[in-house]
A and B are shown apart, each in its own frame.
Chain A
Amino acid sequence: MSDSKNTGAVNTAIDANHHLEGALLPILHQVQNNLGHIPADQVGIIAKALNLSRAEVHGVISFYPSFTTSPQGTNVIEVCRAESCQAMGGRKIEATVKSALGVNFEETTECGKFTLEPVYCLGNCACSPTVKINSQIYGRVTSHSVVSLIENLRQAGDQK
């Protein structure tokens, strides 16, 4: 059931983008956005459509941090680790978020609600420190404000 749903999404992405020059990244982005990851068993279909080898497609997926081969948590929390945020207390924010979630970077909480990712600059350096939660960027965060954002999401998840 879910395999056919995955294949459908992959074929839709291929149909929408295969005519483009350098179509592989646009296809992978669309699949990642729609399915939340790029299932390993779909690599062959993408490779065949673009006349590439599976190794080539796998090589591209594994090169870019945006593409994942397993599903991420319901909420993705990205904490900026770069210099401007460091200068404004970013290292403390990193530690606070890790301890609030009980995971390290590139890990997902056991409940599946949160994935924590490092990010190297969100271009919000004039409002450092910065975190991104799902699609929303938050500037001038404090340990307190970031913990309360996480708690809100935790509770919202529990109500569902």
Chain B
Amino acid sequence: MTPRIYIPQDSSAISVGADTVADRLAERLVASLGNKEVEFVRNGSRGLFWLEPMIEVETDAGRVAYGPVGADDVDSLIEQGLLEGAQAHPLSQGLTEEIPYLKNQQRLTFKRIGLIDPLSIRDYQAHDGFKGLKRVITMSCQACVDEVKKSGLRGRGGAAFPTGIKWQTVLDAGAAAGQKYITCNADEGDSGTFADRLQMEADPFALIEGMTIAGIAVGADMGYIYLREEYPHAHAILEQAIAIATEHNFLGKDILGSGKNFNIQVRLGAKAYICGEETSMLESLEGKRGEVRAKPPLPALEGLFGKPTVVNNVISLSSIPIIFAEGADYYKDFGMGRSRGTMPFQLAGNLKQPGLVELGFGVTLHSLLYDYGGGSASGRPLRVVQVGGPLGTYLPESQWQVEMDYEQLAAIKGVLGHGGLVAFDDTVDMSQQARFSMEFCAVESCGKCTPCRIGSVRGVEVIDKICSNEDRDSNLDLLNSLCDTMENGSLCAMGGMTPFPIRSALEHFSDDFK
């Protein structure tokens, strides 16, 4: 058997040297093996980022892992039996599937991540790819929408709106509406999140299949992926995947002989965080300034170019194939309460074992931080976690027993958002984090609503005054009043939620503001 070696090619693995390791390995193996062949596969990351660059070698017992591998480790790995999967080397991690971090996960949407060559349509199909689409073309539109409703899937971008109901509105808009669109929001700008990027870089066909199913279900024949410009690697992979899928008739005209057509184009954003807000994204796709629209009208009725439009996040759409492949009941069985299915939690910030953890809703924040995250990277005590991106609440240790689902988090004034967790150790100054929230809002506000545009600038000033004990009490009142105005007087979550992290910092860490 030709030895097969996997080296991830996603942008995080590359950012810590995966390409250099791959080059060194190829060079050394050519030198030492002569004519004997080795097969290299550039897979996506398994999501165990603290082990990246993580090399895997195929053995009879399964794939074995080594990591984090630097270029200087390559010689010793080869000497100590890398090609045979020997496990003597200090970087050996044993069988990949047995690493507890991975073994204890419930990988549904991310089931293929790291297993396959992202651009091998054969690999994709060998791992249940396009099984859902093949079922969909035998179903009626209404049956497809019903299946999504039944799965309980809610928007994974952050708003948690039921996906099936959104699709129903677009389907009901009827043929008289003319052109309809599927738009994929891939403007993943929240700090601490990288699930969309990993999905697109490591398993792009799942997103393509999900969008195609959405198109067939609601009667749309055109799809746009609005991708943030900061993800050039995902862009290159998506463009290739779209071309390959079209060549194999999973996209384009008369898909698999069904008589249905669907095309996808990728459009790049231009580094504006606000374009992750759905109406701002639609404006941007239309070639305009990314200014937020008032709702109603809902994008489902008057969306892109005024036409009925599905706007779904990358993870929502990439979860569609497994819902159709395995059935809505299978998917719905994971999770708790009204949060059904799985969530890719993204562990970031000051953690020893950052990475992607896909689990059914209901795992505790504490378990994510310690059982998976392994505690702080710095070795100091963890102090606070921001859940749900830059507009998410800062949660102190007293709240870490919360079960991670939409409703449980809402009950403690938290948000799940896109599932990102950023952990901080005890060196964090929460007044500076609150100040940054206002500063970020000032930088990224689209400018349409005054409370967001001006309020954020004033917010930075007021926090500075509080920290320097200038009219402390009256400035604290002013900050609270400013937060009220922003929450109630802004059209979208940018201004409306910027107060969340600030208020939680004030509530739980008031000493930091002295």
Chain A: residues with CB nearer than 8 A to chain B? 20-26, 28-29, 50, 56, 59-60, 63-67, 81-88, 118-128, 130, 135, 137-140
22 A-B pairs in the complex with CB atoms less than 8 angstroms apart: A22-B286, A22-B305, A25-B270, A26-B267, A28-B270, A29-B268, A56-B288, A63-B272, A64-B271, A66-B270, A88-B350, A120-B390, A121-B189, A121-B192, A123-B188, A123-B197, A123-B228, A125-B193, A126-B346, A126-B347, A126-B354, A140-B15
Collect the chain A residues with CB atoms within 8 Å of residue B192's CB. Answer: 82-84, 121, 125
Asked if A63 and B289 sit within 8 Å, CB to CB, the answer is yes
B74 within 8 A of A: no
State in angstroms the CA–CA spacing of A21 and B267 once bound together: 11
- The answer to whether B422 and A60 touch across the interface, beta carbons within 8 angstroms, is no
Chain A residue with the shortest CB-CB distance to B48? A126
Q: Which of B52, B194, B271, B428 contacts A87 (CB 8 A)?
A: B428
Q: Which residues of B contact A56 (CB under 8 A)?
A: 288
- Least CB distance from B60 to A in Å reads 31
Chain A residues with Cβ below 8 Å from B428 are 87
Residue interface mask B172-197, A partner, CB < 8 A = 1: 00000000000000001111111011
User: Contact check: which of B15, B188, B289, B349 meets A130 at CB < 8 Å?
Assistant: B15
- The one of B14, B270, B377, B423 in contact with A65, judged by C-beta atoms closer than 8 angstroms, is B270
In the complex, B287 has a CB within 8 A of chain A: yes
Interface bits B279-296 vs A (CB < 8 Å: 1, else 0): 000001111111100000
Return A122 CB to nearest CB of chain B, in Å: 5
In the complex, the chain B residue whose C-beta lies closest to that of A120 is B273
B287 touches A65 (CB 8 A): no
CB distance from B348 to the nearest CB of A (A): 4
**Contact partner, B390, options A83, A119, A130, A135, Cβ 8 Å:** A83
Query: Which parts of B104-119 form the interface with A (CB within 8 Å)?
Result: none
Residue positions of B touching A, CB distance < 8 A: 11-12, 14-16, 49-50, 52, 188-194, 196-197, 228-232, 265, 267-273, 284-291, 305, 346-350, 354-356, 377, 386, 390, 420, 422-425, 428, 433, 436, 440, 443-444, 446
* 8 new A-B contacts at CB < 8 Å, known A118-B443, A126-B346, A137-B11: A21-B286, A63-B272, A66-B271, A82-B191, A121-B230, A125-B420, A127-B16, A139-B12
B349 x A84 contact (CB < 8 A): yes
* Minimum distance in angstroms from B203 CB to a CB of chain A: 16
Which residues of chain B have C-beta atoms less than 8 A from A126's C-beta?
12, 49-50, 194, 346-348, 354-356
Interface-central residue, B11, B15, B386, by most chain A CB under 10 Å: B15
Which residues of chain B are within 8 angstroms of A81 by Cβ–Cβ distance? 436
Chain B hits for A124, CB < 8 A:
11-12, 15, 194
Nearest CB of chain A from residue B226's CB, rounded to whole Å = 10
**Nearest chain-A residue to B354 (Cβ)?**
A126
Please name the residue on chain A nearest to B420 by beta carbon: A125
Residues of B near A137 (CB, < 8 A) are 11, 14-15
Contact check: which of A23, A67, A123 meets B194 at CB < 8 Å?
A123
Residue contact A83 to B443, C-beta cutoff 8 Å: no
Chain A residues near B286 (CB-CB < 8 A): 21-22
Question: A84-B348, A88-B377 in contact; A123/B230 too (CB < 8 A)?
Answer: yes
CB distance from B422 to the nearest CB of A (A): 5
Q: Which residues of B contact A28 (CB under 8 A)?
A: 270
Are B191 and A66 closer than 8 Å at their CB atoms? no
**Interchain CB contact under 8 A, A123 and B231:** yes
Contact check, B191 vs A120: say whether CB atoms are below 8 A apart.
yes
The chain A residue with its CB closest to the CB of B291 is: A63
Residue of A nearest to B275 (CB): A64
Residues of A contacting B433 in the complex (Cβ-Cβ under 8 angstroms): 83, 86
| Chain A residue with Cβ nearest B11 | A137
- Chain A neighbourhood of B423, CB < 8 A: 87
CA distance A64 to B229 in the complex (A): 11
Determine how close the nearest CB of chain B comes to the CB of A117; give it in whole angstroms. 9
Cα distance A26–B424 when bound, in Å? Answer: 39
Nearest residue (CB) in A for B428 is: A87
CA distance A21 to B12 in the complex (A): 33
In the assembled complex, the Cα of A135 lies from the Cα of B425 at a distance in Å of 31
| B residues less than 8 Å from A128 (CB atoms) | 348-349, 354
CB contacts (< 8 Å) of B386 on chain A: these are: 83
Is A86 a contact of B436 with CB atoms below 8 Å? yes
CA distance A86 to B440 in the complex (A): 13
Taking CB atoms, residues of chain A closer than 8 Å to B273 are 120
**Which residues of chain B are near A130, meaning CB under 8 Å?**
15
Task: Check if A125 sits within 8 Å of B191, measured CB to CB.
Answer: yes
Is A87 a contact of B422 with CB atoms below 8 Å? yes
